[in-house]
Structure 1
Amino acid sequence: MIDMTVVELSRWQFAATAMYHFIFVPLTLGLSFLMAIMESVYVMTGREIWRKATLFWGTLFGVNFAMGVATGIVMEFQFGMNWSYYSHYVGDVFGAPLAIEGLMAFFLEASFIGLFFFGWDRLSKVGHLVVTWLVALGTNLSALWILIANGWMQNPVGSKFNPDTMRMEVTDFVAVLFNSVAQAKFVHTVSAGYVCGAVFIFAISAFYLARGKHVEIAKRSMVVAASFGLAASLSVVVLGDESGYVATEHQKMKIAAIEASFHTEPAPAPWTVLAFPGSDGEPIWQIQLPWLGGLITTRSLEEELEGIHPLVDRAEERIRSGMIAYEALQAIRADAADQSARATFDQHWADLGYGLLLKRYREDVGNATDTEIAMAAEDTVPDVWPLFWTFRIMMGLGFFFIAFFAFWFWKASTGKLETNKNLLWLSFFLLPTPWIAIEAGWFIAEFGRQPWVVEGVLPTFYAASGLNFWDLVISLTFFTLLYTVLFVIMIWLMVRIVKAGPKDHVFHEPQDEDDFVVAALPVTPMTKELGA
């Protein structure tokens, strides 16, 4: 029988290391592009202040990048340590994107980041600018391949189970690459990283401006961050909507749990703003907006939104089909020439993963009782209320960022960035908010997929290694402490860098309007900030 305590500890360890690692990833994504934009302005205008700004934010980027590498290495080792059966079962599919990420993206990023820091006096302006853009490209390519791998876990296309090797194998690598879930997750995730980078630069610049230090670099950085952040925050919401729509097609149970929809909502489905659970877990009080749920989840006023209870009934049907697939698989293992068993398996193999859900309750899957089948079907429902509230926190912050950057974009356009110190201090103290939204998003994506490590293919409990309880306790404690120490070191280093600030430099005041203009833009208070 499965030791669920060991499984839960393995899940906690991967969740802890992944959540720590993802503190650094979005900031890397955002800062890399913002650095490239600032250096582009430096190359176009020749203004030394933009070089100083690029160097300053690049130093913070370097610290964050180093910590991201240190925390990310451990995650891949866990596939062999804590999730060895997962690695065996789907390694042929999952391993390819990870290998390409290391060869194509990470080496590109790691190679050019050295040239970024040490090539300022060895490369031409344009040459160094190309290096900076290649660093940004590398960070995004890295995210692309990781999210292709993760997207396959959410929607396992382009693959099939081979009864002879007892593993999932790639049948169409192009389908894996262009998986709709992976593509939606990629654009949504990198946009969230851009928002994170914009908030980071804006908050620290607001801190400088509120204290009257490094004013010239702070104002210019705020203009770039406000402009870039507004575009990124708009794209996060739009692309998040696309990600939700794709999930409605491929992960109906996740969407039903996020919406706390226990019963199928007839078209046009409402959207629940707030709700509270009763003793049976179903909502006893809720505020709903008519039609909006249908527009968000199905983009239609004519399609119903399936609820948890009917989806559980469908899962029970698939479990019974999976039992047939499992029995046929055993017959093939006993006699590889049994063509009748192969024909039966080919008919039912897509439900094999549902049959494996019964392994939690008994070893001989084919003899499962109706009660055990019903319990396994109920296991397909993730915890509803943590998903419900986490999604609304994430969504609320997403719309807040649009309003936040729209306000500061307007302030920058009118040349009034430093008119209200209270607003500047408020902007500084909002620094943690993008990480709250981003970590909430990952929680929704991964926790909402439960009980699957690969949706509909491999149950989480079945993928875990058979480790000792105390081995996991010790390793979980060690990694948590180590990552906490690394996080504290990163904060300490960044605080020191921010306190020191960019190197002071005296800049001449522009003599005419042409000095303010970047790429022949009309002269406004905002373009004056950019051009100067």
Structure 2
Amino acid sequence: MIVDPEVVGLSRLQFALTALYHFLFVPLTLGMAFMLAIMESVYVMTRREVWKRMTQFWGVLFGINSAMGVATGVTMEFQFGTNWAYYSHYVGDIFGAPLAIEGMMAFFLESTLVGVFFFGWERTTPLKHLIATWFMALGTSLSALWILIANGWMQNPVGAAFNAETMRMEVTKFSDVIFNPVAQAKFVHTVSAGYTMGAMFVMSISAWYLLRGRNIDFAKRSMTVAASFGLAASLSVVVLGDESGYTVSENQKMKMAAIEAMWETEPAPASFTLVGFPDVAKRETHAAIRVPWLMGLIGTRSIDEPILGIDALVKDATVRIGNGIKAYDAMLVLREDKNDAQARMLLAAHDKDMGYALLLKRFMDDPRKATPADIERAAESTIPNVPVLFWSFRLMVACGLWFIGLFAYAFWRASKRRLEGRTFLRLALWSLPLPWVAAELGWIVAEYGRQPWAIEGVLPTALGASSLAPGQVWLSIGGFVLFYTALAAVDGYLMVKFARKGPDGLGMWPPAPEPLPATAQAA
């Protein structure tokens, strides 16, 4: 059965909107949690009140953001059952396990520790509270780990195989799913990006206080921590992003070719295109400025391995579609006769390519009836949106390089105790939105670049959607837009309100003087 293309497009739009919105909060939660743990560690070691107040104040903003992340994450996961029913049926045995573990961590471990952080200051010792804060920070990262294990499997479906009897993908080795190299690379890269966002958030708001001459001592200490942590995190993003890019070149060659707008396979090592203007119709990149060898070194870690171009990968997809049709035919034979040895052998030989045959179901009910023109059309559909990926990647990288430069400069100024420069403070303040821009661009590269696949090489997106009427999806999109707009308004209002109030406005700084001893009062 072919799902209405309009329904598929609307379901994709809804999931993209909710995921992009949810991802506004998750990275900041990751980064802020570790910033809080660092600040509280200094407080426990020094017992200086300013560090405790810093932890508590930034914790207020962390709490607002964390609550929004939980609220938006729950609704997003329900869409697998509402809008992507066949996806859930086909790969639920694999995809559901990491999500279930993440849910337990997020709603039991992480939420419990968040409660201890906010309500345990006067109910436990400083050391025990610090331990809870560190576990809260680790819990947020572990929660992200299981989400990214699930997502990494979508990018590189290891540890699973198609079962002709159940007509579903099933786990063959769960450890392969957990230690999937794509998932691990995505995890460390995403978490580092979150740390960078948290550091920029603290540094930018601290710069705003310094520009207005408020909470000087408080803001300088916050900015020093942010500069140090942010520099380490932003450098890690680049290093770990390189590893993430290498896994893409190994497992998602079409995505890599599209990111580079590489139409033809170049002699190894391939050059890297700094800027250019991809022309999809003519299959060339105009006004390209290239750096020799760089793409080959990044993508293959060698000087003699080529990176396949888009045209070569389309030809490869054509071959795989032909093999997949054989597997599809064998699968249908086995549905009628489970004891057909020849069909079982044919399926085993080509089952890795059956997903490519399913690309044809976007255009017809029975892939076995495909003509060479149909196969060519399906092969061409494996090309994602090249201009979008090309520019999203480059803008993301530009943001990353800016973060390194700004944090390095801030670290130098902090080491010289010269954080008051107004030009520097304005740059720090104006840079506040950039981590969110980079994070959303990274999501676009990772998820939009996977199209037309819901599961790379296994399940086309067009087959994963539920059989709904377009009006039903429009109704849910409208509901989500209204609900999320209201949440965005509340979140923005609260974040701005408490940031403007600052620790002085909330009565956290300067600390109230301790009462004099009774003998001194009598005197």
Sort the TM-score into its range (normalised by shorter chain): over 0.9
CA distance in 2, matches of 1:146, 1:38: 27
Distance in 2, matches of 1:378 and 1:326, equals 20
Q: TM-score, normalised by structure 2?
A: 0.96
1:407 correspondence with 2:409: yes
What is the one-letter code of the residue matched to 1:358?
A: L
Structural mapping, 1:208-219, within 5 Å: 208-219=209-220
Range 254-263 or range 470-479, more displaced: 470-479
* Partner residue in 1 for 2:294: 292
Contact residue 3 and residue 466 of structure 2 kept, 8 A: no
Instruction: Give the match for residue 332 of structure 1.
Output: 334
- TM-score, length-scaled by structure 1: 0.94
Per the alignment, residue 510 of structure 2 pairs with 505
The answer as to 2:360 corresponding to 1:358 is yes
Partner residue of 2:275?
274
The answer to whether the aligner puts 1:322 opposite 2:319 as a matched pair is: no
Q: Deviations over 1:374-427 (max 9, x none)?
A: 000000000101000000000111111110100000000001001x22321221
Tell whether the 8 Å contact from 1:4 to 1:461 is kept in structure 2 after alignment.
yes
After the TM superposition, which parts of structure 1 deviate over 3 Å for at least 4 consecutive aligned residues?
none
Distance 2:258 2:306 in 1: 15
Give 1:367 deviation, angstroms.
1.2
Tell me the secondary structure at the aligned position of residue 25 of structure 2.
helix
Once structures 1 and 2 are overlaid, which stretch shifts more, 53-62 or 499-508? Answer: 499-508
* Corresponding residue number in structure 2 for 1:343: 345
Give yes or no for contact 2:278–2:386 (8 Å, CA) kept in 1: no
2:444 paired residue number: 443
Task: Answer yes or no: is the 8 Å Cα contact 1:191–1:236 preserved in 2.
Answer: yes
In structure 2, C-alpha distance between the alignment counterparts of 1:246 and 1:504, rounded to whole Å? 48
The one-letter code sitting in structure 2 at the alignment partner of 1:442 is W
Question: Alpha carbon RMSD of aligned pairs, Å?
Answer: 1.1
Q: For the Cα contact (< 8 Å) 2:273–2:289, is it kept in 1?
A: yes
Matched with 1:528 is none
Output the CA distance in 2 between the equivalents of 1:222 and 1:249. 40
> In structure 2, how many angstroms separate the alpha carbons of the residues matched to 1:347 and 1:296?
33
Secondary structure of 2:162's match? strand
Question: For 1:51 and 1:483, how far apart are their aligned partners in 2?
Answer: 34
Return the alpha-carbon distance in structure 2 between the equivalents of residues 106 and 148 of structure 1.
18
Q: Is the 8 A contact 2:263 2:283 kept in 1?
A: no
Equivalent in the alignment of 1:29 = 30
**Residue 280 (structure 1) shift:** 2.1
Distance across 2 between alignment mates of 1:225 and 1:54: 13
**Matches of 2:183 and 2:69 in 1, distance apart?**
22
How far has the Cα of 1:299 moved from its partner? Answer: 1.4
Aligned to 1:523: none
**2:398 aligns with one of 396, 399, 402:** 396
Cα displacement (A) at 1:34: 0.3
Structure 1 counterpart of 2:496: 495
> 1:368 maps to which residue?
370
2:520 aligned residue: none
C-alpha contact (below 8 Å) 1:248/1:255 kept by paired residues: yes
Contact 1:106/1:138 (<8 A) preserved: no
Q: Which amino acid aligns with 2:228?
A: S
Residue 281 of structure 1: CA displacement? 4.3
In structure 2, the residue matched to 1:114 is 115
Matched position secondary structure for 2:263: coil
Could you tell me how far apart the structure 1 residues matched to 2:9 and 2:305 are? 37
Matches within 5 A, 1:24-173: 24-173=25-174
> Partners in 2 of 1:300 and 1:143 — Cα distance?
32
Partner AA of 2:242 in structure 1: D
Number of residue pairs the alignment of both structures matches: 507
Whole-angstrom CA distance in 1 between matches of 2:127 and 2:48? 14
- 1:62-87 deviation digits (Å, cap 9, x = unpaired): 00010001100111110000000000
Write the distance in 1 (CA, Å) between the matches of 2:493 and 2:71. Answer: 17
Give the conservation status (yes or no) of the 8 Å contact 1:390–1:444: yes
Shift of 1:333: 0.8
Task: State the alpha-carbon separation in 1 of the partners of residues 286 and 71 from structure 2.
Answer: 46
CA distance in 1, matches of 2:248, 2:61: 36
Q: Secondary structure at the match of 2:23?
A: helix
Q: Tell whether the 8 Å contact from 1:210 to 1:421 is kept in structure 2 after alignment.
A: yes
Residue type of the alignment partner of 1:504: W
- The answer for the alignment partner of 2:521 in structure 1 is none
* 1:106 positional shift: 3.8
Partner of 2:519: none
| 1:36/1:129 contact within 8 Å kept | yes
Between the aligned partners of 2:96 and 2:449, the Cα distance in structure 1 is 23
> Residue 448 of structure 1 aligns to a residue in which SS?
helix
Q: Distance in 1 between matches of 2:413 and 2:83?
A: 51
For the residues of structure 2 that align with 1:28 and 1:284, how far apart are their CA atoms? 41
SS in 1 for 2:121: coil
AA partner of residue 462 (structure 1): L
How far apart are the structure 2 equivalents of 1:302 and 1:229?
A: 36
2:431 aligned residue: 430
Secondary structure at 1:236 match in 2: helix
Identity among equivalent pairs (%): 59
Q: Distance in 2 between matches of 1:504 and 1:140?
A: 30
Does the Cα contact within 8 Å between 2:113 and 2:136 map onto a contact in 1?
yes
Contact 1:39/1:54 (<8 A) preserved: yes
Q: Alpha carbons of 1:225 and 1:12: their partners in 2 closer, same or farther (altered >3 Å)?
A: same
Deviation at 1:297, TM superposition (A): 1.0
**Does structure 1 retain, via aligned residues, the 8 Å contact 2:156–2:251?**
yes
> In the alignment, what sits opposite 2:517?
none
3-state secondary structure, aligned to 1:23: coil
How far apart are residue 296 of structure 1 and its match? 1.2
Whole-angstrom CA distance in 1 between matches of 2:59 and 2:322: 56
Amino acid in structure 2 at the alignment position of 1:398: G
